[in-house]
Amino acid sequence: MFIVNSYALAILFCFITMLCWGSWGNTQKLAGKTWRYELFYWDYVIGVLLLSLIFAFTLGSFGEGGRSFLADLRQADAGNIGSAFLGGIIFNASNILLSAAIAIAGMSVAFPVGVGLALVLGVIINYLGSQKGDPLFLFLGVGLITLAIILNALAYRKASAGNMKVTTKGIMIAIISGVLMSMFYRFVAASMDLDNFVSPAQGKMTPYTATVIFALGVFISNFLFNSILMKKPISGEPTGYKAWFSGKFPIHLVGVLGGIIWGIGNSLNLIAAGKAGAAISYGLGQGATLVAALWGVFIWKEFKNAPKSTNRMLALMFLLFVAGIILIIIAGQ
């Protein structure tokens, strides 16, 4: 299987993760014009599973290093399979709850609470699980990125001219989402032998196998989570599977593409974790929030009519983001 053997390549993979995790949401914007979120989400989940299988049977099966996908799957013990599967369930729950929080409390509240909490707690959890990297530089970097996320949220609030109504319910859902999101990566990382991808310990899985099991957890749990969301939507009328099956192929393809983009980022991040460490990989990946903000500023023109003070906030946000990324990279050297 393909294995990352240098820290520089691991960091490159984390940057690709950042781009993928920060860009897949554009497919939701494109599909959202004619396609309900609940229906889009099914296509997205299928894309995540499809990409994990493609990687498993290609990068995860060719080459001399490590165990090939099928051989690795056969020897994996139930505890590690269950850990990666649970990671998928937790991720899916957090993702759907975050969407609900955004719908109830607005982007300016839900994102800094949910994603900010996920970033800080996630790095702490993953660092305690696998202590790679200088903690001082790592947590300073995380702190700066957290400040950047908060500035991003304040900029959204200014752009919305205070029209968003903040509710306790929305904040609580965002908090629960953030706590869950901070935990999913650790369950997947725990199923792998992060110290030795070349000759993984017996019973442990390679990142390719762990990613497939994770994606299966997302897919299977979606029958419960998204079915509930379809019957009791956050906004709009209830929908059902008949509406999903009646969708045209091109609109399904948009959602699947979104899942594939996110899945590429997830796979590369877990592959990089063996060299960079789980905390650094996760921390850099969660910088995706600021990549999404770049799309919002330059492509979707979300701040076109915002007050001029918003531009200064966005500039400071990107400076803090870049500084935070540099500190996290230094932490692993």
Taking only the tens place, the pLDDT of each residue in 202-233 is 999 999 999 999 999 999 999 999 999 999 98
Average pLDDT over every residue of 16-45: 92
Q: What is the DSSP string of 224-247?
A: HHHHHHHHS-SSS----HHHHHTS
Domain membership of residue 1 (yes or no) is no
Helix runs in the chain, H state only? 7-23, 25-31, 37-57, 69-75, 78-105, 107-129, 135-159, 168-190, 207-231, 241-245, 249-276, 278-285, 288-294, 308-331
Domain membership of residue 2 (yes or no) is no
Domain membership of residue 125 (yes or no) is yes
Encoded tokens for 12: 């490159």
Domain membership of residue 248 (yes or no) is yes
Average pLDDT of the chain to the nearest whole number: 92
Q: Residue 192 pairs with which residues in a beta bridge?
A: 205
The pLDDT of residue 86: 98
Domain membership of residue 54 (yes or no) is yes
Q: Tell me which residue of 190, 200, 199, 209 sits closest to 60, measured CA to CA.
A: 209
Domain membership of residue 168 (yes or no) is yes
pTM of the predicted model over 0.75:
yes
Domain assignment of residue 137, given as a range: 7-331
Residue-wise pLDDT tens digits, 102-155: 778 776 677 778 888 999 999 999 999 988 999 999 999 999 999 999 988 888
Residue-wise pLDDT tens digits, 310-327: 889 999 999 999 999 999
The pLDDT of residue 60: 96
Encoded tokens for 144: 């700066």
Domain membership of residue 200 (yes or no) is yes
Could you give the CA distance from residue 311 to residue 297 in angstroms, rounded to a whole number?
10
The pLDDT of residue 292: 87
Domain membership of residue 153 (yes or no) is yes
Give percent of the chain with pLDDT exceeding 70.
Answer: 97
In this predicted structure, which of 35-39, 217-221, 249-253, 305-309 has the lowest mean pLDDT? Answer: 305-309
Q: List all residues 6 or more positions away from 326 whose beta carbon is below 8 Å from its beta carbon.
A: 141
Total of domains in the chain: 1
pLDDT band at 165 (very low <50, low <70, confident <90, very high): low
